[in-house]
Structure 1
């Protein structure tokens, strides 16, 4: 739709960020979309402004850290190197709607908007995103809390990943978020057959410390020879150091294979070859405790059984649709205990259940929430 101009701000490698890619797809139905993010131009964007990948999106320079320590948050909020780059790239362009992905982009989105409405997709709980890291807890948590207190009342609309996190924003900051889950589009795929002597586990996601990938590797070592594990991991921005440490941990274990990452568009087709999608995440932060990640929806669309560690949001989906089993906690032992009794017959049943659930656990409902919110702010018919 010509005429309406939308800016989508995201401090992620946008072509690896399934949530933002879906967001851009919806926004492109309503106007001409400019994206400003790390990485190449994504599908749906009319124009793309590429942030220098070497620049951090938080004020991590010595001057920035000093201002954080002194709690001079108004002075520091636009000084992060990537934020300065965004302001340079956007220049004097003007938009009818600005979409700010994650709390760290609210200040720069508000500055660029110059009075136009801003839709904040906060994704998860910003104040404690990495609260298990001491420097984050001491310096960044109070900054993010201040940003939410200052900018959430200025946002024309707010979305979050699930109802539990939305309730936290409502209670703490008086916001009224709408929920946009991390569900992908419906895929018309059949459940693949399960071999009589093999249960093919799979895990996809970021190669990020704290995601307990080591625990999943160790669990497979402890399981019997029926179980294999294939992993499709997106490298962190650490030059491959963490991935290298995982390769060392896997060593010569033939039942565990680490694959190169595949694009979001290819992921579900790739996962469809397997049997059970697994994830085990220690509840180190509120976002971990209340997780509702892309991968549970990817696993459903791939017609897999699911085994996750306990979490209220994912527990509800697994139990309501009879998709699999829930480990008591995020320990290696708990994962082994829940997988050991799994039979081939049970996996076949779970894959059939996933096939039924795929019709409802997809992005149709979530895209409608984004579409309605953006259309209302643009003054167009969705």
Structure 2
């Protein structure tokens, strides 16, 4: 379903994301930057919890499993299994593996239905013909690539993750899903007119792994600038983790470390996650004897993330170095903590550590162990916290989307200059 917005402009950009797009920071920032630069913006994705920007032209994708006949279900199962066999057994023959990846995609009910919805919407509204199509991660590459091919639009893939090594601790994913991801990315990233990603480290890996038309452009996931107050250190001292509450984010170690914290510190975990995982974390806090010092809160709407974080004193993120994806992460929360004016306590991972040290933002936990995290937290005296808070607010004047978006818009302008007049 396409929902009309208020924009009337010349160039048109389509942004495709299989997420709740009104809650997806990178989609929201990208769309606003394009709109401010004079583009008409079409966003295809799922409904989120937050209000959708009224200026979007919005294609609402179904996020439920549509009813299918038994024959259809069996047919898609066969497509997936044949495709997986091709990706696994013909990994050394790229054309065969990539054909297998496309077969898997057609066999995935939600993704194949979304592709059909996107292409049907484009065909039904020729006035929205794109000049630029942006795929968010490999999930949306097939519809984005096909839409760009049909319309002569520039095709960009925005990689939020280093997807080839996203779940190295999951044997099932490594055996069955990773070959699909590799084949799909090898296929579509090579076709893309440009690839963007969130950190220089991931950019280097993508350039190493894939044959690309041009070097990867790093566009970091920085928040919009928001002037926050320099808030005095609280009583008790509030340590905050916010973001997705899920495995491999160091939350178990963070909770266990609270046993070694000075008594004036307490931890808030703010975010959404699977109920079973949240229950397990709450049980862990009870087993560790720190349940009274660990608070769990639901995620806040997108526009409230920074003001809510400003009420804390220390931003905590100590995920492990399990893979290149984790090692080279430069996540939203790092910059959100900075924008909120928090002292930082983060894992000693290169991309985050470099920025922390460059701007003097806080301390590093040298190991993902409860004692090491506790030592880092305890090193943050009230005076040091105030120093790092002031440093964060100063750094926020540089590390914001208003500055970072210039890199992205310059890339898109370059792509438009390269297109034939008939394609634009």
Structure 1 residue 327 displacement after superposition: 0.6
Name which of 2, 14, 19 aligns with 1:12. 19
Distance in 1, matches of 2:176 and 2:153, equals: 31
1:257 to 295, 299, 305: 295
Which residue of 2 is the match for residue 86 of structure 1? 114
- 1:183–1:363 contact (8 Å) kept in structure 2: yes
Q: 1:246 aligns with which of 281, 291, 294?
A: 281
Superposed displacement of residue 199, structure 1: 1.8
The answer to whether 1:372 aligns with 2:400 is: no
Of 31, 55, 58, which aligns to 1:48? Answer: 58
**In structure 2, what is the Cα distance between the partners aligned to 1:374 and 1:86?**
25
Q: CA deviation at 1:44?
A: 5.7
1:130 matches 2:146: no
Name stretches of at least 5 consecutive residues in structure 1 with no aligned partner: none
Separation (CA, whole Å) in 2 of partners of 1:45 and 1:126: 31
CA offset at residue 34 of structure 1?
1.7
Equivalent of residue 180 in structure 1, options 219, 231, 236 = 219
Against the structure 1 CA distance between its residues 168 and 24, is the aligned structure 2 distance closer, same or farther, given a 3 Å change threshold? Answer: same
Structure 1 residue 297 displacement after superposition: 0.5
| Matching residue within 31, 38, 41 for 2:39 | 31
Shift of 1:55: 5.0
CA RMSD of aligned residues (A): 2.3
Q: Does structure 2 conserve the Cα–Cα contact (< 8 Å) formed by 1:102 and 1:121?
A: yes
| Correspondence 1:219 to 2:219 | no
Task: Choose which of 315, 320, 324 in structure 2 pairs with 1:286.
Answer: 324
Change beyond 3 A, Cα 1:136–1:159: same
Q: Distance in 2 between matches of 1:46 and 1:336?
A: 45
Matched, 1:328 2:359: no
- Ranges in structure 2 where 5+ consecutive residues have no aligned partner: 1-7, 67-72, 88-99, 420-424
Residue 105 of structure 1: aligned partner? 140
Contact 1:162 1:180 in 2 (8 A): yes
Kept in 1: contact 2:82–2:103 (CA 8 A): no
In terms of fraction of residues, the more helix-rich structure is 2
Of 330, 355, 365, which residue of structure 1 is paired with 2:393? 355
How far has the Cα of 1:131 moved from its partner? 2.5
Q: Which stretch of the first structure deviates more once superposed, 294-303 or 69-78? A: 69-78
The match for 2:334 is: 296
SS of 2:291 mapped into structure 1: coil
Decide which of 177, 184, 189 is 2:228's aligned counterpart: 189
Shift of 1:15: 2.3
Contact 1:318 1:324 in 2 (8 A): yes
Q: How many residues are aligned here?
A: 374
Decide which moves more: 81-90 or 184-193: 81-90
8 Å Cα contact 1:35/1:45 also seen in 2: no
Report the CA distance between 1:12 and its aligned residue: 1.6
Q: Contact 2:77 / 2:107 at 8 angstroms: preserved in 1?
A: no
Q: Secondary structure at the match of 2:272?
A: strand
Which has more radius of gyration? 2
Query: How far apart are residue 45 of structure 1 and its match?
Result: 5.0
Q: What is the TM-score of this pair, normalised by structure 1?
A: 0.91
Q: Is the 8 A contact 1:24 1:45 kept in 2?
A: no
Secondary structure of 2:231's match? coil
Distance in 2, matches of 1:62 and 1:334, equals 47
Summarize deviations over 1:213-237 as a string: whole Å, max 9, x none.
12111111331211111121123xx
Give, in whole Å, the separation in 2 of the partners of 1:280 and 1:65. 37
The reply to whether residue 141 of structure 1 matches residue 155 of structure 2 is: no
- Partner of 1:26, secondary structure, is helix
* 1:155 equivalenced with 2:192 (yes/no): yes
Please list the CA deviations of residues 306-353 of structure 1 after superposition, one character each: whole Å capped at 9, or x if unmatched.
Answer: 000111000011111111100112222210121223211111111111
Query: What's the CA shift for 1:77?
Result: 3.2
In 2, the alpha carbon distance for the partners of 1:265 and 1:224 equals 33
Quote the Cα distance in structure 2 between the aligned partners of 1:44 and 1:315. Answer: 38
Distance in 2 between residues matched to 1:158 and 1:171, nearest whole Å: 13
| Residues 207/323 of structure 1: CA separation in 2 closer, same or farther (3 Å cut) | same
Q: Is the 8 A contact 1:184 1:362 kept in 2?
A: yes
Q: What displacement does 1:109 show?
A: 0.8
Q: Contact 1:78/1:108 (CA < 8 Å) preserved in 2?
A: no
